[in-house]
Amino acid sequence: MVKLTAARSRIAGGLYGSLLFFVLAAASPAQADSGSDAPARLGGFEVVLEDETREIPGRAGRIRWATYWNLAWDAHPQALAYQIETMTSEGVSPKLKTQDGTFIKLEVASGENKKSLGMDKRDLQIALISGQLSYRVRALLADNRAGEWSAHFPVGRIGAPPPWKGGG
Amino acid sequence: MHTAKTLFRTASLTTLGSLLLASGIAVAAGTAGPSFTDPTARLSGGTAITRGALVYIGPFAALTAANGNKISIGDASNVQDNVTVDATRGSVALGNEVILAHGATVRSGSIIGKSGTCPSAAAYCPSFVSFNATVDGGTIEKDAMVSALARVGPGVTIPSGRKVLPGKNVTTNAQVAAKTVPVSEADRVFMHDVVHVNTSFAETYTALAAENASNVRGVNYDPGNSDFNPLRNLPTLAGKATRNPNFRNRIIGDVRMHDALDDLDDAMGNSISLRADEREPFEVGSIASMDDRVTFHALEHSHLHLGDEGKYGARSIVHGGATPHENTTITGDNFELGDGAVFFRSRIGADSRVGSRSVIQDSDLPAGTEIPSNTIILGNAVFGRVEW
């Protein structure tokens, strides 16, 4: 089960942002290891597309904008760090990345154009990247142990594409 | 639970992509290591073709240097299955970390990944030419991309940081702005990891061949022994694990086909590469017909599940990847894929047909779908036409 909500907010300094939330309600909260053999599992995953738009000083009527894909999860109480695996459409990178934070933030679209065009070609850029790249995450624990891998989260995608209406 | 406020607060932090790029994690060029050329690749030109370290040249790639012209390939570059590089009327220069994806064509006078700039002033960064795209005497700078079925004409330069949209035909520099979009951080992470996957192939296929040269011919093992695929597998044909180095096409790894080798011999053309060189199997129903230079490829954590009585046109490509259907790319029975068409990370129902030189990407299409030729479908929507 998933929950989809939208929000829009304004940030000081002429920066506008909008967020689309895709909350994976089915994901369980982070589970402590609790001394049992149960592997640590991350939970509380949220996937968000975040837009930022700025007016360009000295260039009236033009904007610079970017869209970021954010994946965040709840901190696991026993995690020393988090390990990230990247899957591309050409294969899985043999390099695992390690980070302390509980989020991934990646630019998936950007542009500079007339303000009247809005975020020109934004959706197209996101469609092109969607599914080309995905991440999964696990907790790194003490004694060189690791938790369970999460599901894969395709970069750029916050839900199924709209249904096919024919055409071509 | 995270909130919008929390996420906005993080907006000023360095993003993952720039962290990875700045850390040098993904840079492979400049690293010593073996290169591998699949024995089915056709390299014509002798010493006029040079390659650097950790280069992977896939099955049935065709590289021709003639009339005093040269082909140079830099470190950590890859020339994937059924790529054509033609240097008969002018040299072709490929820099470091150049990715030529399945079915790409690079013609005389093209220069890829040699000029331009990299993010964070790095010395090396990838450039990318996608499925069945053509660079026809153009220049693709470092950190630039050409999407599937696009074409870049003679004298045109795609500058660093730009990506040609699918199916576009860029014939003048004046068209570049309108037919490209910025390369994103996500694109850069994607390209760097594709470089890593293929440099890993250069090493693991070299090891596989060193054990027994026949291991990299015909119907045979995947290389295994990589971080992402420690095991080796043989294809299964009509329920039987099969190794046949003498078969004219390449069927690699855990490909599970309905047909026996004799059936495939009848239904298949030549220069076909069905490559499951990562751990996950893919399942291929009976083949009604498969023309020359077809490529199937899938990767770890993704699957292909192709129905019975499939028809696959010349130079067509079926490629796996992340999908909402348990990462499986699915075609129903009696599916027909036209010449030069690309079916990528999608699902389509039975009795469907995709016309020649069309691209289906990240889509879910019902049974009986008919897609005309030269049509780009992205995320269940018509993006446009192939312009050339």
pLDDT tens string, chain B, 388 residues long: the values are 444 334 433 333 334 444 444 333 344 677 789 999 999 999 999 999 999 999 999 999 999 999 999 999 999 999 999 999 999 999 999 999 999 999 999 999 999 999 999 999 998 999 999 999 999 999 999 999 999 999 999 999 999 999 999 999 999 999 999 999 999 999 999 999 899 889 989 999 999 999 999 999 999 999 986 655 667 899 999 999 999 999 999 999 999 999 999 999 999 999 999 999 876 678 999 999 999 999 999 876 778 999 999 999 999 999 988 777 777 899 999 999 999 999 998 999 999 999 999 999 989 999 999 999 999 999 899 999 999 9
Using CA atoms, how far apart are residues B301 and B281, in angstroms rounded to an integer? 9
SS (H, E, C) chain B: CCCHHHHHHHHHCCCHHHHHHHHCCCCCCCCCCCCEECCCCEEECHHHEEECCCCEECCCCEEEECCCCCEEECCCCEECCCCEEEECCCCEEECCCEEECCCCEEECCCEECCCCCCHHHCCCCCEEECCCCEEECCEECCCCEECCCCEECCCCEECCCEEECCCCEECCHHHHHHHEEECCHHHHHHHHHHHHHHHHHHHHHHHHHHHCHHHHCCEECCCCCECCECCCCCCEECCEECCECCCCCEEEECEEECCCHHHHHHHECCCCEEEECCCCCEEECCEEEECCCCEEECCCCCEEEECCCEEECCCCEEECCCCCCCCEEEECCCCEECCCCEEECCEECCCCEECCCCEEECCEECCCCEECCCEEEECCEEEEECCC
Q: What is the pTM of this model?
A: 0.88
- Phi, psi (5° rounding) for residue A147? -80, -175
CB atoms within 10 A of CB B156: 23
CB B193 to CB A133 under 8 A? yes
CB B186 to CB A89 under 8 A? no
CB B379 to CB A162 under 8 A? yes
Across the interface, of B182, B186, B379, the residue whose CB is closest to A161 is B379
Residue of A nearest to B364 (CA): A164
CB B322 to CB A89 under 8 A? yes
Which of these, B228, B227, B202, B229, lies nearest to B216 by C-alpha position?
B202
- Closest CA–CA distance from residue B120 to any residue of chain A (Å): 15
Which of these, B122, B119, B108, lies nearest to B144 by C-alpha position?
B119
Which residues touch B53 (CB under 8 Å, ≥6 apart)? B31, B32, B33, B34, B35, B75, B76
Chain A contact set for B192 (CB, 8 A): 93
Chain B contact set for A104 (CB, 8 A): 16
Residue of B nearest to A167 (CA): B382
How crowded is the C-beta side of B75, counted as CA atoms within 13 Å?
A: 11
Rounded to two decimals, the ipTM of the complex is 0.85
CB B10 to CB A69 under 8 A? no
The tokens describing B83, both together, are 């790529």
Across the interface, of A93, A104, A154, the residue whose CB is closest to B197 is A93
Chain A contact set for B364 (CB, 8 A): 160-161, 163-164
Report, as ranges of residue numbers, the positions in chain A whose pLDDT lies below 70: 1-38, 94, 160-162, 167-168
A123: enclosing H helix or E strand: helix A122-129
Which residues touch A107 (CB under 8 Å, ≥6 apart)? A66, A67, A68, A69, B15, B17, B184, B185, B186
pLDDT in tens, A119-130: 999 999 998 988
Using CA atoms, how far apart are residues A162 and B19, in angstroms rounded to an integer? 33
How crowded is the C-beta side of A98, counted as CA atoms within 13 Å?
A: 7
CB A52 to CB B11 under 8 A? yes
CB A89 to CB B320 under 8 A? yes
Chain A contact set for B324 (CB, 8 A): 160
